[in-house]
Chain A
Amino acid sequence: MQQFLTDIFSFEDRPRFERIGFLIFLLIVLIFPWIVTSAYGRAVMIKFLLFALFGLGWNLIGGYGGQVDLGQAKNVGFGAYATALMIVWWKVPFWITIIPGMVIAAMESFAIAYPMFRLKGHYFAIATLCVALVWKELFIFWDWTGGARGVEIPIRSGADFVYMQFNSPIYYHYFILFLFLLQFYFMNWFRKSKLGYEVQAVRDNEDAAASLGINVYRTKVINYTITGGLGALGGSFMAVYYLYIDPDAVMPLDLSILIAMTVMVGGAGSIWGPIIGAALLIPLDMYLGAWLGAQKRLGIDFMVYAVIMMVIAAKEPKGIWGIIERLRKKGEVGG
């Protein structure tokens, strides 16, 4: 038991500066809403934490798994719809609704994984796109889920912990922070676990992994299944935070792209990557917009990301974290 707890929380295997860096980061995030009181600033922080959350989940398949998945939005959608519909139809408390959301997303991922992992690389990426787009079109087509009209969650007054609805962003801040830390420590456990190593071994060299006793196919399927479940968690949050969801808000292609992008830019395959990526891109997105005015901003933020992506693809596929690691190694050898 003690070992299990250590595995979740310890970063002993990482260099000291990472541990300190993370503690500083955590401290800043914890006191943030008391320092920054503007509604916009708080909203940016919440969005950053949400995308860091999404990124952590995606990192499983995209980073540790080494397979670029461009359809994570479908899992977000499953979670969002499960939560929203259960609240609206049956008044189910939020914390219970996240379970069916994650289970449905996991089950769908599991089912689709079997045929899909016959594919690799580009073909796999396109297939994930196709699957996500089909689901989105289905959700628009289906009337019972609200179709294109979406689902609206009735507003309640005051601070409601059953449906996680609040009148102040401070609550949402700690709410999303809690979810983020849940997934963050899960990832910490994962990267050191047998499954985590198997996933990385499969990513690095499938033949070698098989020769060491790893069932390559099964590993990929399990990894993708977990990624699905994790994506749904963020979706559930979106439902109760925005109080309105529709296929274009929770399952669009742009969301899948943004999630994949933040992790790839930050550094796929490292636990810090999603955080770095989101920290760079989300505030950039939100503040560039405000600075340039709503009309002009459309597209500039993504254009900047796109250029960053192309440069990283050509120079350092391991993203910003890869650059940091490279500099550190140089420092070690030289100094």
Chain B
Amino acid sequence: MKKKSGSCLLTAEVFFRKRDEMELVVQLIVYGVLMGLIFALIALGLSLIFGVMNIVNFAHGEFLMVGMYIAYLLSASLHLDPLFSLPIAGLAGYLLGVGSYRLLVHHILRGPMVAQLFGTFGLMLFLRYLAMYIFTPDVRSVKQGILVGKTLSMGWISVDASKVFSAGICILAFAAVYWMIYRTKLGRALRATSIDSEAAKYMGIDTKGMNAFAWGIGGATVALAGALLAHFYYVTPTVGMLFTLIAFATVALGGFGSIVGAFIAGIVIGLIMVVSGQLVSELKFSFIYIVYFLVVVFRPRGLFGW
């Protein structure tokens, strides 16, 4: 008799532990996919810029950081809900992107690759330390907002409302960009420029304008992602490099120049981060860096790229 109840208890315990584990796994997957969608949006801009003019934007994460600070500032000083900062961040990102192109990038495109590299590198440094100068390295966060700090419960799964919302916006943004690129005349001009800018020029396409536009969209999408991130992530001036690297890993995995690739790779990277964060939390970003390294060395084309 005793033995039976003992084993019953054991089974029950095992059952509940397994259920906990299963819940944890599902929770992790959900979290990973949500973060992954945000990574995908971050990577989208980088992939676009690279696709159109084969230059790599070291300052990409810094544009994100700008988006974050815009959300923070609007919230802290004007008590504006961070949701309203989204279009503003997007616009600011667009202007920043176009400005960066016209003032700097356009002049280094013709130069040696080393010059291109330290051109955008210089831009990265400038923005990073400008932020550090203005805002000091203190960590900030957005304290109030409709979505800040709220959780949604679906059965036994609970997720941050802000993350779900962000993921939704990312999907919308992806759809919008995809539609723009493949279904509009503007997008066709962009694609033409990325395939062969000389030929595009001869066909009457304003390639300089296209380049600027690509940088604009790149800046807008990533600043938007920044404003979304501000809902639940720390705002500091040094956050840029981390997300630049995550974006690089995502774009490398998805394939440079591929929009679909950025989407899928983003989700994969999100899952990797979440899983490795669970296993060894101090090294969760290391795994992403390692992914970049392995992909770029052993399968440079990534999943979908050219």
Contact = CB atoms under 8 A, between A and B. Distances in A.
Answer yes or no: are A and B bound together in one complex.
yes
A323 interface: no
A133 B245 contact: yes
A137 B104 contact: no
A314 B103 CA distance: 10
A92 interface: no
B289 interface: yes
A116 B125 contact: no
B306 interface: no
Nearest to A313: B119
A130 B118 contact: no
Interface stretch (B88-96, B207-215, B278-286): B278-286
Interface string A243-265: 00000000001000100010010
Contacts of A296: 133
A299 to B, nearest CB: 3
A97 to B, nearest CB: 27
A68 B117 contact: yes
Contacts of B128: 302
A55 B300 CA distance: 31
A137 B119 CA distance: 28
Interface in A109-133: 115-116, 118-119, 121-123, 125-127, 129-131, 133
A306 B130 CA distance: 10
A299 B289 contact: no
Given A133-B289, A138-B283, A302-B125, A115 B107 contact: no
Contacts of B115: 313-314, 317
Interface in A286-335: 295-296, 298-303, 305-310, 312-314, 317
Contacts, number: 130
Contact of B137 (A298, A312, A313): A298
B74 interface: no
A230 to B, nearest CB: 21
B285 A317 contact: no
Range, interface on chain B: 35 or more
B116 interface: yes
Contacts of B137: 298
B292 A317 contact: no
A313 B289 contact: no
Nearest to B112: A317
A138 B122 CA distance: 28
Contacts of A126: 56, 245, 248, 292, 296
Contacts of A122: 56, 113, 116-117
A313 B122 CA distance: 8
Interface in A126-150: 126-127, 129-131, 133-134, 137-138, 140-141
Contacts of A127: 292-293, 296-297
A304 to B, nearest CB: 9
A314 B121 CA distance: 12
A66 interface: yes
A130 B292 contact: yes
A306 B114 contact: no
Contacts of B252: 123
A301 B297 CA distance: 36
A137 B285 CA distance: 9
A253 B129 CA distance: 14
B286 A134 contact: yes
Nearest to A68: B117
A121 B113 contact: yes
Contacts of B297: 115-116, 118-119, 127
B292 A313 contact: no
A257 B118 CA distance: 11
Contact of A310 (B123, B130, B245): B123
Given A115-B293, A134-B290, A306 B126 contact: yes
27 contacts: A68-B114, A115-B293, A115-B298, A118-B297, A125-B117, A126-B245, A127-B292, A129-B289, A130-B290, A130-B292, A133-B285, A137-B283, A137-B285, A141-B282, A298-B136, A299-B130, A299-B237, A303-B130, A303-B133, A306-B125, A306-B126, A310-B104, A310-B126, A313-B116, A313-B118, A314-B115, A317-B115
Given A299-B129, A314-B107, 17 more contacts: A68-B117, A116-B297, A122-B116, A125-B117, A127-B293, A129-B289, A131-B293, A134-B286, A138-B283, A253-B241, A264-B118, A303-B125, A307-B122, A307-B126, A313-B118, A313-B122, A317-B114
